[in-house]
Structure 1
Amino acid sequence: MSAAEHKHAAFRETPDRYGAFPRLTPEQLLDLTAHGERRRAAVGEVLFCEGQPFREFLAILSGTVEILHDHGGPDERTVAVHGPGRFLGELGLLEGQAAFDTAVVRRAGEILAVPVEQQRALVGRDPVLGDLILRAYLSRRYLLIGLGAGFRILGSCYSPDTVRLREFAARNRLPHRWVDLERDKDAEALLRRFAIPTEETPVVLWKGDRVLRNPSNAELARLIGLPAPVPSSDTGRCDVLVVGAGPAGLAASVYGASDGLTTVTVDAVATGGQAATSSRIENYLGFPSGISGGELIERAVLQAHKFGARLMVPAQVTGLTPQDDEYAVTFSDGSRARAGAVVLASGVWYRRLERPGLERLEGISVYYAATVHEASLCEADPVAVVGGGNSAGQAALFLANHASKVHLLVRGGDLNADMSRYLVDQVEQHPRIEVLLHTEVRDAGGEEKLESLTVEDNTSGERRELQASALFVFIGARPRTEWLKGVLALDEKGFVLTGADARAVADANRWASLGRDPMLLETTLPGVFAAGDVRSGSVKRVASATGEGAMAIRLVHEHRERRGNLVTAGPEGRRPVPGGSVSSR
């Protein structure tokens, strides 16, 4: 497209093919007017700028606004063009992040500006308007991710720090583009432009002038405006500290904050846990057509914010110590917090596949999640998925929409053994998915990236070679509980013991003063609960994790209410029944 054609195109509205650009009704605009102000917008006026925090929710009453990526830079391009009735912004507006693009007025007109805080409250109060805005913002976020908008990560595919930064960005659903020093033709030009020695990579580039040299995850988070981590000094006390921001942790956040408890939720990597990497969850109650893990998590995050929960990423917990009927929690940066109760919802890590040649390709073409980011790296190529559970089935179906062929490699002989029936039916009927039972990976081929896999039939011993540009591994998980060893009781696999299992190994002297035993989700430490995948004996499903997160808060109330009157005998010298009952709330 010529410069003249591009300029002319900028005055035509972007068609709404993906539901990312709906129009507000006159009634909705009238309702919003009561919370904001109308003002004139001149040609060339910048309404918000890439890299800066959103200040206002903006709706267009008249005129035209162009959304640009890398405004003023060598790679400037149009993302969308909005006319009357459209509203601006994307997910970062609701979550306190910086803008990933720039809005410039192209035809003078009038806009309606609503302060961000009031808009967040409106989204929570008005379900119709809230759902319209949230769906559009989610679609826009994934559109930006697909376009490679946002910041750039410049680094070698062989660098562990490059892999770390890419994983952090992908897990937090942050728009970005990776420029590979080994293969990307733009890499050398960028190094020269910013005078960056190769040994200082990876670097993060944003807005054409910001350069972060091998930043920590926390430094990258601050650049984007993710919720601030625990400060370096002592943070004081909260009623409930939730460790982990997956479905269980976010449910505990929502119910804790909505019950009036001061609730702080921390996660070492990102909100969402493993659920956020699921391309589609089809058996979650209330979503008959299914919902992506990313959308479910973003909705939960906004809900937690609505009730006043504080979410902090990245913030890694390293210690838990009983202290004066409360708990002192230590973080990896040396900071500390105090909590009246703790909910452990740290989830699990996917297990690595230990095979020759795979470790050096992790993050390059061997992945442990299948999101839009990973799928965009293997368009039109054959890929392989290892695993026989629901995560593997969901990944295979999602990747089949991007790859030319998906080999689903299952060690066992029956796909029904660990996969839900509805997924089995879809997998077996999909024309691009080939299911290989009794099959295990033995070796990987390829120098700079994966090119092929050697697989073996574990019944006959026969080997064959499969062409694959990427390998996605879903072979089970291990709990994130290394930091809890010696603090509370774990089972032989490292999962947290609760309820009757905890009672069997608990220190009787510690519980005697309370006059009760550990409650259903309570650990061997009074007031410390476990919910979701990290708990021994839990059902590894999103729905059960959210249920346990909510239940944990009910039990926190029970713990708080009983602490005083169970230490001593009642007025008639009788002690309450240990364990008691859990009342409805």
Structure 2
Amino acid sequence: MKETPDLYGAYPRLDEYQLAELTPLGERRTTSAGEVLQQAGEPPDEFIVVLDGTVAIVQDLGQPERVIAVHGPRRFLGEIGMLTGQPMFLTAVAQEPGEVLAVPLDRLRDLVPQDPRLADLILRAFLIRRSLQLTLGAGFAIIGSRFSADTRRLREFAARNRLPHQWVDLETDAEAERLLRELGIKRDETPVVIWRGEVLRNPDNERLAAAVGLRRTTPVQSVCDLIVVGAGPAGLAAAVYGASEGLATVVLDAVATGGQAGTASRIENYLGFPAGISGAELADRAEIQARRFGAEITVPATAIALEERDGHHVVLLENEARMSSRAVLIASGVRYRKLDLPGLDAVTSTSVYYAATELEANLCRNDPVVIVGGGNSAGQAAVFLAQHAADVVLVVRSNELGQDMSRYLADRIEQTEGVDVLVHSELREARGERALQEVVVEDLKTGERHVEPAKALFVFIGGLPHVRWLSDQIDLDDRGFVLTGSQLPGERQLLETSRTGVFAAGDVRSGSVKRVAAAVGDGALAIRMVHEHLGRSR
């Protein structure tokens, strides 16, 4: 079986120097044809380099199997889950007698800081492999109707967490009904998730996360130094700086690492990435970095209350677990602001989106789409979706595109074919029965209305602070954002809230700058203030 070409750097070959560095750390082993080296569904404990022979990466070993890639000498196995603690989604099996080098993961982690070039090669390959898996539909299967809200929930959860999966649509896939009959599943029992021969009937997000190894047990240590609620850029930055400076740091997020930034198709104005970086890759890199320093990251873990007990701050989770800490950082960000529009409720579950990722792009491929919003999120979505949709119409309330959007992005949109910008305009109606067909747009200056065809509607009209879980424990401004520092009476640190030892960072903070770099800065600055608080407490 021939090797798979090195697609985009996903399958690089180690040079002689890198192989010589790794060899003393591992064990050389002979392999036999058909020997399983890494099993889907199980967390790996070794980094494996092929020395002789070929190794195939397959899905559904023996059912019949689907070959995803083939590795030859000096190529290494694995993907990003090896660095985040997830089980493998694919199986590695030797195709012929050969030899491999098996390096324990803890030894590899010790080597990585000493050889940044090797670390970058491995990380880059792992990230690209995960992206390819997502594109190929490797991993588990979700079977359900496009008109089902639960099907969409499962697909969005998988997409936000970058979990490789395949969607079998009951409405369009000719094999779907046959598959359900074989599995003994009734149509009204869908959606279902199939993974390693197990059928999960309409699982909630926590059950799905547990089944695929994403969710690990909530940390059980009695009292930690810092609980970070929210794993967006602010929360992840706090995790990196807190853990690297010796704080016992726990990060909780209800959905996925990355926050809203994690759904950005491309962030082009973030310092240090002149070619831009996707929100998903930025989140993956930050998560790996935080875990390497010892931060505990648990997803999904939904905080529902903040209490104070015996001098400690207590975060109550939806699963009734309670976690205590000496300090808390509120980095729960914002939730998407919904559009109030006649006719929208009837098509929301099938046609309305609040993020523009590969998932949404595939759903509206070659269809006309409408985007509402004038900020950077809307602009990034327009540029990205123009590569997939038949036509993109961007509806902006302001009189010019650059009023609320970065200038570079406004210029990019004006140069992008297939994007039509309607300024000083608003939507007035959505039309369609089970799925969107068209929208009515009004010109705010002339009052004239016209119809735009649309199979999908993307809404980026700002966000509301995610603070319901705080109840009345923390002081908020009149828009619901968390007040900090000089916004409150008395002497307080810059990011400290109305409760001593509780801090806020990122978009949830009143007066914050809604930019990724600003959120990262908040998260880093908060750690210095946590240190000062803990020092005074001691």
- TM-superposed CA distance for 1:360, in Å, is 3.8
Query: Paired residue for 2:324?
Result: 338
Query: Paired residue for 1:50?
Result: 40
Point out the more displaced range, 96-105 or 545-554: 96-105
Query: Paired residue for 1:531?
Result: 505
Query: Paired residue for 1:13?
Result: 3
Instruction: Tell me, yes or no, if the aligned pair for 2:305 and 2:317 is still in contact at 8 Å.
Output: yes
Match of 1:480 among 431, 450, 466: 466
> Matches of 1:520 and 1:185 in 2, distance apart?
59
Q: Deviations over 1:466-524 (max 9, x none)?
A: 222222111100010012131010011111000011226xxxxxxxxxxxx22100000
> Matches of 1:229 and 1:463 in 2, distance apart?
54
> Matches of 1:287 and 1:363 in 2, distance apart?
36
RMSD: 1.6
For 2:377, what is the secondary structure of its paired residue?
helix
Distance 1:337 1:29, change over 3 A: same
Mapping of 1:74-89 within 5 angstroms?
74=64, 76-89=65-78
Matched letter for residue 16 of structure 2: P
Q: Deviations over 1:426-447 (max 9, x none)?
A: 1111112111112222223334
> Matches of 2:525 and 2:310 in 1, distance apart?
25
Query: Paired residue for 1:214?
Result: 202
Taking structure 1 as the reference length, the TM-score comes to 0.89
- TM-superposed CA distance for 1:229, in Å, is 4.3
- TM-superposed CA distance for 1:390, in Å, is 0.5
Q: Deviations over 1:175-196 (max 9, x none)?
A: 1122223333222112111111
Instruction: Tell me, yes or no, if the aligned pair for 2:139 and 2:166 is still in contact at 8 Å.
Output: yes
Between the aligned residues of both structures, percent identity stands at 58
> Matches of 1:274 and 1:195 in 2, distance apart?
39
> Matches of 2:348 and 2:260 in 1, distance apart?
17
- TM-superposed CA distance for 1:235, in Å, is 4.7
Query: Paired residue for 2:477?
Result: 491
Gaps of 5+ in 2: none
Distance 1:439 1:549, change over 3 A: same
Match of 2:216 among 195, 214, 228: 228
Matched letter for residue 497 of structure 2: T
Instruction: Tell me, yes or no, if the aligned pair for 2:347 and 2:432 is still in contact at 8 Å.
Output: no
Match of 2:175 among 170, 186, 193: 186
Match of 2:518 among 544, 553, 571: 544
Query: Paired residue for 2:281?
Result: 295
Match of 1:90 among 54, 69, 79: 79
Query: Paired residue for 1:325?
Result: 311
- TM-superposed CA distance for 1:363, in Å, is 4.8
Instruction: Tell me, yes or no, if the aligned pair for 1:151 and 1:205 is still in contact at 8 Å.
Output: yes
Point out the more displaced range, 474-483 or 314-323: 314-323
Mapping of 1:223-302 within 5 angstroms?
223-230=211-218, 235-302=221-288
Taking structure 2 as the reference length, the TM-score comes to 0.97
Query: Paired residue for 2:445?
Result: 459
Matched letter for residue 474 of structure 2: L
For 2:7, what is the secondary structure of its paired residue?
coil
Instruction: Tell me, yes or no, if the aligned pair for 1:281 and 1:293 is still in contact at 8 Å.
Output: yes
Matched letter for residue 524 of structure 1: S
Query: Paired residue for 2:20?
Result: 30
Match of 1:119 among 91, 94, 108: 108
Mapping of 1:409-420 within 5 angstroms?
409-420=395-406
Q: Deviations over 1:147-186 (max 9, x none)?
A: 1111111222333322221121111111112222333322
Query: Paired residue for 2:52?
Result: 62
> Matches of 2:168 and 2:437 in 1, distance apart?
20
Gaps of 5+ in 1: 1-10, 505-516, 565-585
Query: Paired residue for 1:163?
Result: 152
Q: Deviations over 1:78-98 (max 9, x none)?
A: 211111121111111111112
Match of 2:415 among 429, 441, 446: 429
> Matches of 1:77 and 1:286 in 2, distance apart?
39
Question: Does 2:187 align with 1:201?
Answer: no
Instruction: Tell me, yes or no, if the aligned pair for 2:223 and 2:323 is still in contact at 8 Å.
Output: yes
> Matches of 1:259 and 1:241 in 2, distance apart?
15
Q: Deviations over 1:438-460 (max 9, x none)?
A: 22222233344333222222222
Matched letter for residue 38 of structure 1: R
Instruction: Tell me, yes or no, if the aligned pair for 2:305 and 2:471 is still in contact at 8 Å.
Output: no
Distance 1:338 1:183, change over 3 A: same
Match of 1:146 among 131, 135, 160: 135
Query: Paired residue for 1:510?
Result: none
Instruction: Tell me, yes or no, if the aligned pair for 1:265 and 1:310 is still in contact at 8 Å.
Output: yes
Query: Paired residue for 1:512?
Result: none
> Matches of 1:210 and 1:263 in 2, distance apart?
34
Matched letter for residue 175 of structure 1: P
> Matches of 2:98 and 2:301 in 1, distance apart?
44
- TM-superposed CA distance for 1:124, in Å, is 4.4
> Matches of 2:3 and 2:283 in 1, distance apart?
31
Query: Paired residue for 2:164?
Result: 175
Q: Deviations over 1:295-329 (max 9, x none)?
A: 11100000000100000011111111122222122
Query: Paired residue for 1:377?
Result: 363
Point out the more displaced range, 47-56 or 411-420: 47-56
> Matches of 1:341 and 1:157 in 2, distance apart?
43
Instruction: Tell me, yes or no, if the aligned pair for 2:346 and 2:434 is still in contact at 8 Å.
Output: no
Point out the more displaced range, 98-107 or 263-272: 98-107
Aligned residues: 538
Distance 1:121 1:167, change over 3 A: farther
> Matches of 1:330 and 1:311 in 2, distance apart?
16
> Matches of 1:230 and 1:190 in 2, distance apart?
36
For 1:419, what is the secondary structure of its paired residue?
coil
Query: Paired residue for 2:391?
Result: 405
- TM-superposed CA distance for 1:120, in Å, is 3.6
- TM-superposed CA distance for 1:392, in Å, is 0.7
Point out the more displaced range, 421-430 or 50-59: 50-59
Bigger radius of gyration = 1
- TM-superposed CA distance for 1:425, in Å, is 0.7
